[in-house]
Chains A and B, each alone.
Chain A
Amino acid sequence: MQESSRAELAVPAVEGERSERVAQAAQRPVARPRDAQAARSRLYFAGILSVAAGLLLWEVISRFLVTNALFLAAPSQIFAAIVALAKTGELWRHLSISAIEFALGYLIASILGVIIGFAMAESAMMKRMLQPWISGLYATPTIALAPLFILWLGIGIWSKVLVVVFLVLFPVTINTEAGLRTTSERLIEMLRSFGATPRQIFFKVSLPSAVPFILAGLKLGIGRGLIGVVVAELFGARAGLGQLISQSADSFNMPNLFAGVVVLAAAGIILTAGFGWLEGRLVPWTKD
């Protein structure tokens, strides 16, 4: 399939006859979507191929070069560890705890972030008061405060939830505020020409045009939130993927350590991809 599509693409470059070129031009509207599709599937294969090659290289290195199991685990060993952890039910225990911590923190931060973003966009006073805090805390590696949160809230889930809230809140707030503030003046003027009230302008233009920005902030929050959960768990927890990782590291169980990391990476990829799909449904006008 790859071969045939490549041959198709090569045609316009080779042909030189004028009549052929005219025929080609006439065909083009039909041919273009097929070419685009072929190009897309080729790109898709390139991604898969790259990952497969990387895994193979990793496998080879860990089997023949770094044979000491204390330093590296092979992909096959990691896969086996994931299966084993899943069978004992241990994986679900860790995964569900981390998932609950992430979901709670993410939800709280999203709601708070959108509300604070609105307040800042609507009131200059609010913006003046909150801006230094937002800027300062966004730049601070709040994750370093995790031990303090554990001291305050104990090693249960709430200390992790708080870390997630701190990490997710600021991108959401900043994007919400920026989205509401950058509403197109032209669109506002259009509504104004019909005699719209400030309230109507807000609900019919400012809010819908801020949605893509808010979603972008929420998307940024996914990665930050996941890191927050795991790092907070590293500092002290009874269960969770971070706890699995740190416990495996302490016992030099490299396959289990990597199993935790791989599951975490998979969660990040799935959540981000799901979010991309949601964006396509909610704000299709920002695509294509």
Chain B
Amino acid sequence: MISKLEISGLSKVFGDLQALQAIELSVARGEFISVVGPSGCGKTTFLRIVAGLEPASAGEVVLDGRAVRGPGGDRGFVFQTDNLLPWRTVFANAIIGREIAGRVGPAERQRTLELLKLVGLEGFENYHPRQLSGGMRQRVNLARALAIDPEILLMDEPFSSLDAQTREIMQTELMRIWEEGRKTVLFVTHQIDEAVFLSDRVLVFARRPGRLLESVAIALPRPRALAIKRTAEFVRYVDHIWRLIEDDVRLSVIEEKL
């Protein structure tokens, strides 16, 4: 099997702090991978290095056989905050990645419209961000990343600012959209149940130094409905991951209080 994304010996140092240490990872085409871990485990830094927004201190990220040197149109980044341009309409926000690549023709417009429909924003193309709810803005955020038709989708806690119910809805929506195209996804989250629900594999990170503790394969059948969260198998996965990081999380909470 040829891997889509190959990461070897990836390390990141901020001053004296070892943020990431010798991460090894191989991701297959179409795989949905989540990264969970306590705060300070370097999971967001990891994603930013893959995106090319941050340079690695050592090691290599190889996407489709090419080493990542900086940001590029082969990766679509979905931000934690929606980062929509307030003066642009939903449509103009969604198509901005194409604009930067310098190609906005009828085909790209059509594709963007279809994506907005896919994420459930049909009829809202001419709205401005201030007229949308948090959940809708995150849908635009997702459509914007998908509009460049990236090889891999990088998602940085995209639902963390949403309320609990909206988050659950967005998880099922993301599953529905993912089933349509089966993009390769790297999804960073601090919600263990979210990671288990969405993923083929959950990478559990530890802190000080940030490192890959265990890669947990999730053998739940697809497509998945929300009800799966109440099955014994699902709960077993969540329990297992929680026990891996529990001590680390306690430590990080105490440190944050100090």
Residues of A within 8 A of B130 (CB): 285, 288
Which of B27-35, B70-78, B226-234 interfaces with chain A?
Answer: B70-78
Q: A192, B79: Cβ atoms under 8 Å? A: no
Given contacts A284-B128, A285-B128, A285-B130, A193 and B77 within 8 Å (CB-CB): yes
Q: Is B161 interfacial (CB 8 A cutoff)? A: no
Residues of A within 8 A of B129 (CB): 285
Q: Is A89 interfacial (CB 8 A cutoff)? A: no
Given contacts A208-B85, A283-B87, A189 and B100 within 8 Å (CB-CB): no
Q: B53, A187: Cβ atoms under 8 Å? A: no
Which of A27-35, A141-149, A194-202, A243-251 interfaces with chain B?
Answer: A194-202
B77-125 contacts to A, CB under 8 A, are: 77, 79, 81, 83, 85-87, 96-97, 99-101
Q: B51, A193: Cβ atoms under 8 Å? A: yes
Q: Is the interface of B mostly helix, strand, loop or mixed?
A: loop
- Which of these, A186, A187, A194, contacts B100 with CB under 8 Å? A194
Interface size on B, residues (CB 8 A): 24
The residue of chain B having its C-beta at the shortest distance from the C-beta of A282 within the complex is: B87
- Give A243-286 as 1s and 0s: 1 = Cβ < 8 Å from B's Cβ atoms: 00000000000000000000000000000000000000001110
The residue of chain B having its C-beta at the shortest distance from the C-beta of A283 within the complex is: B87
Q: How far is the CB of B226 from chain A (nearest CB, A)?
A: 29
Q: A190, B83: Cβ atoms under 8 Å? A: yes
B137-167 contacts to A, CB under 8 A, are: 148
Q: How far is the CB of A204 from chain B (nearest CB, A)?
A: 7
User: How far apart sit A196 and B53, CA to CA, in the bound complex (Å)?
Assistant: 12
Q: How far is the CB of B145 from chain A (nearest CB, A)?
A: 9
Q: How far is the CB of A84 from chain B (nearest CB, A)?
A: 49
Residues of A within 8 A of B148 (CB): 194
- Give B43-54 as 1s and 0s: 1 = Cβ < 8 Å from A's Cβ atoms: 000000001110
Most buried by B among A189, A190, A285: A190
Q: A196, B83: Cβ atoms under 8 Å? A: no
Q: B97, A194: Cβ atoms under 8 Å? A: yes
- Give A199-220 as 1s and 0s: 1 = Cβ < 8 Å from B's Cβ atoms: 0100011001100000000000
Q: Is A191 interfacial (CB 8 A cutoff)? A: yes
Interface residues of B (CB under 8 A from A): 51-53, 70-73, 75, 77, 79, 81, 83, 85-87, 96-97, 99-101, 128-130, 148
Interface residues of A (CB under 8 A from B): 186-187, 189-196, 200, 204-205, 208-209, 283-285, 288
Known: A189-B83, A191-B100, A208-B87. 9 other contacts (CB 8 A): A186-B81, A193-B75, A193-B79, A194-B97, A195-B73, A195-B101, A204-B96, A204-B99, A205-B85
